[in-house]
Amino acid sequence: MISRLAVVPVLAACLVAGPAHSAQPATGTRLAAPQARNLGSVKMTAKDQAVGAKRMAECLYNRKGSLARQALLASSKDSADAASSKLMGDLQCFGAEFSNDLVEERHVNFPRDILRGMLAEAALERSQAQVAALQPLPLQQIYQRNWYAVTGRNVSVDEMGACVADTNPGGVYALGRTMPTTAEENAAFGALMGDFGKCLRAGVKLQASRPALRAALSEALYQRLNAPAPAPAVAANAAGEAAKK
């Protein structure tokens, strides 16, 4: 089965499965010619869509890992967008979530910020030992990261994600390993509620969908592992030196 991936500005990942049609010619007058048939679509539940999108992102990372890493670790939005654009297109994926007797092709629409989070989850699964070694860090007053500029998210969401990834990396990793829209995901989110409260900037109200919040947390953990911020003392000294100039 060939899966087509596309990034569009929608609120949640959406999979539309088109029914397969036979290459055999029509028989008698009962069947219309293939090009004249109304192919329609196969309806999928919200859970099937969410799980399918996660599996597609995993397939995308497995087959185009170098481009995925370029997109996640890009130093500018232009370079991140260029790498993300190269990720799109036809892709061969195999598995129960992708195909059945009725489906020959699926089109997957990913918002860019959610795609980044799903790619981060796929990458973290390949770095289990390194993630397990991450220790909780003390809560900081300010969380500044260069990668905020390339995610497309509200900076307050990324700041909170960086804070939670610093102070409770195990909780973020546990969330990323759950299947979307399941009781396990609900439990993992519940376990992080206290972290959200202490990490959200004063006066800011969190207004992110669950997939968007999950994506922000997973990317923040990926960035902590692969592009760690300077130690607080080093960062403070650098800021002081810059102020003197």
Tens of pLDDT, residue by residue over 83-98, are: 988 888 777 776 645 5
Q: Where does a domain end: 114, 145, 161? A: 114
Residue 112: name the closest of 70, 171, 71 by CA: 71
Residue 198: the pLDDT is 94
Contact 92, 2 (CB under 8 A): yes
Residue 121: name the closest of 66, 56, 70 by CA: 56
pTM flag (> 0.85): no
User: Average pLDDT, stretch 102-113?
Assistant: 70
Contact 61, 68 (CB under 8 A): yes
Q: Where does a domain end: 85, 114, 143? A: 114
Contact 109, 55 (CB under 8 A): no
Beta bridge partners, 108, equal 5, 15
Is 237 inside any structural domain? no
What Rg do the C-alpha atoms of the chain give, in angstroms?
21
21 band by pLDDT with thresholds 50, 70 and 90: very low
pLDDT, tens digit (0-9, with 9 covering 90-100), for 130-175 = 999 999 999 999 999 999 999 999 999 999 999 999 999 999 999 9
| Residue 218 belongs to domain spanning | 127-231
> Is residue 144 located within the same domain as residue 48?
no
The bridge status of strand 89-92 relative to strand 14-19 is unpaired
